[in-house]
């Protein structure tokens, strides 16, 4: 009553936080793309200024902050892409860094002294993404029939294979040394003030702004995709794959599209990263990257684009700036054991602890999507449960009797069926009763793949 | 069944194939290891009829249902749906992998030949690129199976049994015995997923938010609301499916199945676990669907009042075999049916 009264009395009462929040929420629902762009601009302006404010300005100088933000953007981009695969479509992908590698190596082949090519950055950004997308589909295709643990293990395998291939294909990739001297981008002509001309090693502002633009565009596109027919199909597959197929969703193409979109985003990140660090080597793409990005997605709040982006940003800043700062801070203190701890080394321990705490205290992540929050925090309505249970009493007695007779009469049959059913599940993969197998109709009569047996 | 017998049966069925048949199953058999779950079942569904499939537990009803819905491939037999052969044992699929690699391999050989014949480098490079692209495109087509690819398969004599989503696209909707809604999506979203294959927006439409896409989404939402109203869930679209009462969940499943504008609706025990009032409402709904949408309905049902009250025809399965077929009254009096349900000693 008070809120509506305030609105009626004051008209536009800007001090009423509920009112303003409500109106912002309403606006952002109606104009999602605009609000994302505005949000990104505000956010980038904010962190730009933040780096000048005392506690933060003491950690790093302004240029280093911009550089850190730009690097953080790479991980945010990766987290956004993985969020499509894991958060929306529910396909646990542990080898996501592979697609990052494809993007990076594509640009390394396209613009470095080692390859002798020097193609411009902007077209290569899309070529790199396209290459990653193709590999996303090719590596995704064999995993389509698998679920849960088996899918995770297979993607883990691919994630390990790819950097090792780059490591061993020495004539083409220079192995461990990697490909160095990669060209830096040039987007705008030199006469444009501040942001025109080729990017230099110290042009952190240009890299930062380029990343902000890439991020804003990616977020707008991903939001639109999530709210579309495709996004609904992804969610449906995550919820119940068989029911999705029986509702007319082509689970094969829809899952592949998720892999492709995720890989495309990683491809963008890869090309950008290669052009910024100017060297690609296999050790940038090992499992730790996949794991870090997955941890970011989970901590940020699976399925929520802003949440994942912000979670990834915060985690990157913590690991790259604050842990280093903690080191210097504690080393200065005369405490015997703590001052010897290298916090950066314990980064993954901290991830582990954070993940455990998160799963216990806030399983929906720091910034959950509305849906997940509702799912985890809506209590089951006890009256509904009671109503369902009550129907048993209401069924006519003689029917129960008839059912019982039929059941007794068929007990033998059913026992035989159950025994045979187990054998059948091995041959075909169980479709009803929860456990799901291969995509239906994929007539692999010889079947028997372990991944098809159980969720 | 011998091949000759099957051919004879198929020919006979083709001869008497009336224009009014929506679905026609011939000699459908499904074996799980040593168990024959469905054994040589012939079955037809006339258009705009309500047909019931009954039988004791473990009679093979749901297996047969799943075969029709494209979830299981039959061991033998075939099913025509709306005059098209949709489901049968897949054959000559060994040819298909050749289709995936042959174009690229041939182009690769041509490239190699050109290279060794001393063709200029740009030509060889172009050919190599084309070969690679063709390889990638054929692989993608093999995975995504667009209609053009499927037509090519038919022309090469390769038959692949329909997948569930193919059946939905062809006009079949189904519900599940144990409700399988998308629990954590809203009722409206559930119906929208049901409409998925009737919506045309592609991923680039969605990303660019084209006017076509926005108009389609608006139309889809309006249609989904209509369907919710039709099944009696007016105004409940915003609720999560799992928070709906049991009877409403069953109705929502029907609405989701209706999303794809099916011609044939398969209902697997639609009144299971419902109280008498809900059961009556569900029966009324099924009648309404036929009257208003011109639907054909295939029911699996245990509640004999529902079966006898609503069906035009009843088919009885026992131990995977069809033991009786006919109007509800005929089936009720059939001694074989009485025996199957109550045993020889019972009465």
User: How far is residue B144's CA from residue A403's CA, in Å, rounded to a whole number?
Assistant: 45
Antiparallel, parallel or unpaired: β B296-300 and B50-54: parallel
> Which residue of B lies nearest to A388 if distances are taken between CA atoms?
B246
Which residue in the block uniquely carries the two structure tokens 């009254």? B329
C-alpha distances in Å from residue B343, one per residue of A257, B30, B56, B59, B121: 54, 25, 11, 14, 82
Q: Do B302 and A403 touch (CB under 8 A)?
A: yes
- Residues of A in Cβ contact (< 8 Å) with B241: none
Could you give the maximum distance between any two Cα atoms of chain B, in Å? Answer: 90
Buried b (16+ CB within 10 A) or exposed e, B89-119: bbeebeeeeebbeeebeebbeebeebeeeee
Question: Which range among B12-21, B48-57, B202-211 shows the weakest confidence by mean pLDDT?
Answer: B12-21
The pLDDT, as a whole number, for residue B140 is 77
User: How far is residue A333's CA from residue A51's CA, in Å, rounded to a whole number?
Assistant: 25
pLDDT digits (tens, 9 = 90+) for A61-101: 888 888 999 999 999 999 999 999 999 999 999 999 999 99
- Residues of A in Cβ contact (< 8 Å) with B257: 247
The pLDDT, as a whole number, for residue A232 is 94
C-alpha distances in Å from residue B243, one per residue of A371, B187, B246, B254, B268: 13, 10, 9, 17, 22
The pLDDT, as a whole number, for residue B119 is 83
> Which residue of B lies nearest to A31 if distances are taken between CA atoms?
B209
Q: Residue B120, by phi and psi: left (phi above 0), alpha (psi -120 to 50) or beta?
A: beta
Query: For residue A89, which of A289, A240, A287 has the smallest C-alpha distance?
Result: A240
What pTM was estimated for this model as a whole? Answer: 0.80
Antiparallel, parallel or unpaired: β B50-54 and B313-318: parallel
Q: Is B244 exposed, middle or buried (0-12, 13-18, 19+ CB in 10 A)?
A: buried
Partners of B173 in beta bridges: B265
User: How far is residue A214's CA from residue A170's CA, in Å, rounded to a whole number?
Assistant: 32
- Residues of A in Cβ contact (< 8 Å) with B276: 394-396
- Residues of A in Cβ contact (< 8 Å) with B259: 247-248
Query: A100 to chain B nearest CA, in Å?
Result: 20
- Tokens found for residue B327: 């109007």
Query: B196 to chain A nearest CA, in Å?
Result: 6
**Contact between A132 and A99 (Cβ < 8 Å):** yes
The pLDDT, as a whole number, for residue B345 is 55
- Tokens found for residue A149: 């643990």
- For range A417-443, the mean pLDDT: 41
Query: For residue A263, which of A148, A140, A173, A143 has the smallest C-alpha distance?
Result: A140
Q: What is the CA radius of gyration of chain A?
A: 26
User: How far is residue A175's CA from residue A282's CA, in Å, rounded to a whole number?
Assistant: 7
For residue B17, what is the enclosing H or E element? none
Task: Calculate the CA dihedral of residues A418, A423, A427, A433 and round it to 10 degrees.
Answer: 30
**Contact between B48 and B294 (Cβ < 8 Å):** yes
Q: Is B323 exposed, middle or buried (0-12, 13-18, 19+ CB in 10 A)?
A: middle
Cβ–Cβ contact B149 with A under 8 A: no
User: How far is residue A73's CA from residue A83's CA, in Å, rounded to a whole number?
Assistant: 15
DSSP state of A436: -
Q: Does residue A394 register a pLDDT over 70?
A: no
Q: Which one has a higher pLDDT value, B155 or B220?
A: B220
Cβ–Cβ contact B178 with A under 8 A: yes
Could you give the maximum distance between any two Cα atoms of chain A, in Å? Answer: 90
Q: In the structure, what pLDDT confidence band is assigned to residue A376 with cuts at 50, 70 and 90? A: low
Q: Which of B164, B237, B238 is the best mutation test for A, with the most CBs of A within 10 A?
A: B164
Q: Which of B71, B139, B197 is the best mutation test for A, with the most CBs of A within 10 A?
A: B71
Q: Which of A217, A247, A257 is the best mutation test for B, with the most CBs of B within 10 A?
A: A247
Q: Does residue A314 register a pLDDT over 50?
A: yes
Question: Which range among A145-154, B23-32, B138-147 shows the weakest confidence by mean pLDDT?
Answer: B138-147
The pLDDT, as a whole number, for residue A255 is 93
- Tokens found for residue A371: 């849906």
- For range B23-32, the mean pLDDT: 93
Q: Which one has a higher pLDDT value, B58 or A161?
A: A161
Which among B33, B73, B143 has CB closest to A256? B143
Query: For residue B142, which of A264, A154, A246, A137 has the smallest C-alpha distance?
Result: A137
Q: Does residue A155 register a pLDDT over 70?
A: yes
Please tell me which of A43-57, A175-189, B223-237 the model is most confident about, judged by mean pLDDT: B223-237
Partners of A426 in beta bridges: none
Question: Which range among A18-27, A259-268, B264-273, B290-299 shows the weakest confidence by mean pLDDT?
Answer: A18-27
Antiparallel, parallel or unpaired: β B296-300 and B264-268: parallel
Q: Does residue A125 register a pLDDT over 90?
A: yes
The pLDDT, as a whole number, for residue A102 is 95
Question: Which range among A394-398, B208-212, B234-238 shows the weakest confidence by mean pLDDT?
Answer: A394-398
pLDDT digits (tens, 9 = 90+) for A22-37: 777 777 767 778 888 8
The pLDDT, as a whole number, for residue A360 is 86
Q: Does residue A374 register a pLDDT over 80?
A: no
Which residue in the block uniquely carries the two structure tokens 């082509």? A250
DSSP state of A119: -
Q: Which of A246, A305, A377, A414 is the best mutation test for B, with the most CBs of B within 10 A?
A: A246
User: How far is residue B112's CA from residue B118's CA, in Å, rounded to a whole number?
Assistant: 10
Q: In the structure, what pLDDT confidence band is assigned to residue A137 with cuts at 50, 70 and 90? A: confident
The pLDDT, as a whole number, for residue A219 is 92
Q: In the structure, what pLDDT confidence band is assigned to residue A375 with cuts at 50, 70 and 90? A: low
Query: For residue A225, which of B209, B112, B124 has the smallest C-alpha distance?
Result: B209
Average predicted confidence (pLDDT) for chain B: 86
Q: In the structure, what pLDDT confidence band is assigned to residue A172 with cuts at 50, 70 and 90? A: confident
DSSP state of A221: H
SS3 letters for B133-165? HHHHHHHHHHHHCCHHHHHHHHHCCCECCCCHH
- Residues of A in Cβ contact (< 8 Å) with B144: 250, 252-253, 256
- For range B118-143, the mean pLDDT: 85
**Contact between A322 and A329 (Cβ < 8 Å):** no
User: What 3-state class would DSSP assign to B181?
Assistant: coil
Cβ–Cβ contact B90 with A under 8 A: yes
Q: In the structure, what pLDDT confidence band is assigned to residue A416 with cuts at 50, 70 and 90? A: very low
Q: What is the CA radius of gyration of chain B?
A: 25
Q: Does residue A444 register a pLDDT over 50?
A: no
Q: Which one has a higher pLDDT value, A386 or B43?
A: B43
Q: Which one has a higher pLDDT value, A99 or A115?
A: A99
Q: Please, where are the H alpha helices in A11-61? A: 17-30, 32-50, 54-59
Average predicted confidence (pLDDT) for chain A: 77
Q: Do B35 and A424 touch (CB under 8 A)?
A: yes
Interacting residues of B334 by C-beta distance below 8 A, sequence separation 6+: B316, B323, B324, B326
Question: Which range among A367-376, A396-405, B13-22, B150-159 shows the weakest confidence by mean pLDDT?
Answer: A396-405
The pLDDT, as a whole number, for residue B225 is 94
Please tell me which of A106-120, A262-276, B15-29, B298-312 the model is most confident about, judged by mean pLDDT: A262-276
Q: What are phi and psi of A60, to 5 degrees?
A: -140, 160
User: How far is residue A224's CA from residue A302's CA, in Å, rounded to a whole number?
Assistant: 17
Antiparallel, parallel or unpaired: β B321-326 and B76-81: unpaired
Full DSSP string of A381-428: -HHHHHHHHHHHHHS-HHHHHHHHHHHHHTHHHHHHHHHHHHHHHHHH
- For range A158-186, the mean pLDDT: 90
The pLDDT, as a whole number, for residue A80 is 95
Cβ–Cβ contact B237 with A under 8 A: no
The pLDDT, as a whole number, for residue B344 is 64
Q: Do A416 and B176 touch (CB under 8 A)?
A: no
Q: Does residue B229 register a pLDDT over 90?
A: yes
- For range A165-181, the mean pLDDT: 89
> Which residue of A lies nearest to B184 if distances are taken between CA atoms?
A375
Cβ–Cβ contact B250 with A under 8 A: no
**Contact between B24 and B16 (Cβ < 8 Å):** no
Q: Give the CB-side neighbour count of residue A14, counting CA atoms within 13 A.
A: 0
> Which residue of B lies nearest to A406 if distances are taken between CA atoms?
B341
The pLDDT, as a whole number, for residue B244 is 93
- Residues of A in Cβ contact (< 8 Å) with B243: 378, 381, 384
Antiparallel, parallel or unpaired: β B313-318 and B264-268: unpaired
The pLDDT, as a whole number, for residue A405 is 45
The pLDDT, as a whole number, for residue A383 is 43
Q: Does residue A389 register a pLDDT over 70?
A: no
Report the side by side order of strands in the sheet with B172-174: B172-174, B264-268, B296-300, B50-54, B313-318, B321-326
Which residue in the block uniquely carries the two structure tokens 């091995």? A426
**Contact between B256 and A247 (Cβ < 8 Å):** yes
Which among A232, A402, A432 has CB closest to B193? A232
Q: Which of B143, B162, B219, B300 is the best mutation test for A, with the most CBs of A within 10 A?
A: B143
- For range A243-253, the mean pLDDT: 92
Count the residues in chain A.
455
For residue B169, what is the enclosing H or E element? helix B164-170
- Residues of B in Cβ contact (< 8 Å) with A402: 304, 341
pLDDT digits (tens, 9 = 90+) for A140-152: 888 887 877 889 9
User: How far is residue A360's CA from residue A403's CA, in Å, rounded to a whole number?
Assistant: 45
Q: Do B196 and A233 touch (CB under 8 A)?
A: yes
Q: In the structure, what pLDDT confidence band is assigned to residue A377 with cuts at 50, 70 and 90? A: low
Which residue in the block uniquely carries the two structure tokens 């030949």? B113
Which among A228, A245, A424 has CB closest to B33? A424
User: What 3-state class would DSSP assign to B46?
Assistant: strand
- Tokens found for residue A20: 């303003």
- For range A384-412, the mean pLDDT: 43
User: How far is residue B207's CA from residue A260's CA, in Å, rounded to a whole number?
Assistant: 14
User: What 3-state class would DSSP assign to A184?
Assistant: coil
Query: B284 to chain A nearest CA, in Å?
Result: 18
Q: Does residue A246 register a pLDDT over 90?
A: yes
Antiparallel, parallel or unpaired: β B21-32 and B76-81: antiparallel
Q: In the structure, what pLDDT confidence band is assigned to residue A387 with cuts at 50, 70 and 90? A: very low
């Amino acid at each position: 009553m008070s809120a509506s009264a305030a609105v009626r009395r004051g008209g536009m009462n800007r001090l009423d936080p509920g009112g303003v929040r409500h109106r912002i929420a309403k606006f952002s629902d109606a104009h999602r793309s605009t609000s994302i762009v505005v949000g990104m601009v505000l956010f980038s302006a904010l962190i730009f200024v933040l780096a000048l404010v005392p506690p933060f300005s003491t950690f790093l100088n302004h240029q280093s902050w911009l550089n850190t933000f730009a690097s953080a953007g790479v991980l945010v981009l990766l987290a956004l892409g993985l969020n499509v695969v894991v958060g929306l479509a529910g396909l646990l992908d542990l080898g996501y860094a592979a697609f990052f590698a494809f993007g990076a190596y594509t640009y390394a082949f396209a613009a470095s002294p080692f390859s002798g090519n020097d193609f411009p950055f902007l077209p290569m950004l899309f070529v790199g993404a396209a290459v990653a997308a193709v590999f996303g589909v090719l590596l995704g295709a064999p995993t389509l029939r698998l679920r849960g643990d088996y899918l995770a293990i297979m993607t883990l395998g691919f994630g390990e294979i790819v950097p090792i291939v780059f490591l061993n294909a020495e004539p083409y990739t220079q192995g461990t040394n990697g490909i160095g001297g990669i060209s830096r981008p040039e987007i705008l002509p030199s006469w444009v003030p501040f942001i025109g001309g080729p990017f230099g090693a110290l042009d952190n502002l240009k890299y930062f702004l380029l990343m902000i633009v890439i991020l804003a565009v990616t977020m707008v596109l991903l939001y639109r995709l999530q709210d579309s027919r495709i996004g609904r199909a992804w969610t449906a597959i995550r919820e119940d794959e068989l029911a999705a197929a029986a509702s007319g969703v082509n689970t094969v193409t829809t899952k592949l599209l998720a892999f492709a979109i995720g890989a495309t985003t990683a491809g963008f990140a890869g090309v950008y990263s290669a052009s910024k660090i100017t060297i690609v080597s296999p050790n940038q793409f090992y499992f730790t990257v996949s794991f870090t990005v997955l941890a970011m997605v989970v901590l940020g709040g699976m399925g929520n684009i802003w949440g994942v982006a912000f979670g990834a940003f915060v985690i990157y800043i913590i690991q790259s700036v604050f842990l280093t700062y903690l080191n210097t801070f504690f080393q200065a203190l005369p405490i015997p054991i703590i001052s010897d701890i290298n916090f950066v080394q314990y980064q993954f321990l901290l991830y582990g602890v954070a993940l455990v705490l998160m799963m216990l205290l806030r399983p929906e992540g720091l910034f959950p999507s509305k849906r997940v929050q509702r799912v985890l925090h809506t209590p089951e309505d006890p009256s509904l449960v009671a109503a369902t249970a009550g129907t048993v009493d209401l069924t006519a007695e003689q029917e129960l009797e008839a059912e019982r007779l039929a059941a007794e009469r068929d007990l033998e049959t059913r026992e035989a069926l159950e025994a045979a059913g187990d054998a059948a599940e091995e041959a075909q993969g169980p479709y009803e009763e929860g456990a799901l197998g291969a995509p239906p109709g994929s007539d692999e009569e010889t079947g028997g793949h372990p991944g098809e047996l159980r969720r | 069944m011998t091949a000759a017998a099957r051919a004879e049966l198929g020919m006979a069925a083709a001869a008497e194939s009336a224009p009014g048949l929506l679905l026609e199953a011939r000699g459908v058999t499904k074996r799980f290891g040593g168990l024959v779950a469905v054994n040589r079942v012939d079955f037809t569904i006339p258009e705009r009829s309500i047909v019931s499939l009954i039988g004791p537990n473990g009679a093979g009803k749901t297996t047969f249902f799943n075969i029709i819905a494209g979830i299981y491939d039959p061991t033998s037999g075939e099913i025509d749906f709306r005059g098209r052969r949709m489901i049968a044992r897949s054959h000559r699929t060994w040819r298909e992998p050749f289709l995936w690699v042959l174009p690229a391999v041939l182009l690769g050989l041509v490239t190699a030949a050109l290279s060794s014949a001393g063709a200029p480098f740009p030509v060889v490079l172009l050919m190599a690129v084309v070969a690679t692209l063709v390889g990638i495109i054929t692989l993608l087509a093999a995975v995504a199976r667009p209609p053009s690819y499927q037509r090519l398969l038919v022309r090469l004599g390769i038959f692949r049994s329909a997948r569930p989503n193919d059946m939905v696209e062809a006009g079949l909707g189904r519900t599940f015995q144990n409700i399988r809604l998308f629990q954590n999506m809203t009722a409206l979203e559930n119906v929208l997923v049901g409409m998925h294959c009737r919506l045309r927006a592609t991923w680039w439409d969605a990303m660019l938010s084209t006017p076509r896409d926005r108009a389609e989404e608006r139309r889809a939402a309006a249609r989904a609301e209509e369907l919710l109203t039709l099944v009696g869930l007016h105004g409940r679209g915003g609720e999560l499916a799992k928070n709906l009462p049991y009877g409403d969940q069953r109705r929502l499943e029907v609405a989701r199945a209706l999303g794809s504008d099916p011609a044939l609706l398969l209902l697997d025990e639609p009144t299971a676990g419902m109280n008498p009032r809900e059961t009556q409402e569900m029966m009324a709904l099924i009648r309404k669907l036929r009257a208003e949408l011109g639907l054909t309905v295939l029911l699996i049902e245990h509640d004999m009042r529902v079966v006898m009250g609503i069906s035009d025809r009843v088919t009885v399965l026992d131990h995977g075999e069809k033991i009786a077929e006919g109007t509800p009254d005929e089936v009720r009096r059939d001694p074989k049916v009485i025996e199957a349900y109550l045993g020889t000693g019972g009465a």
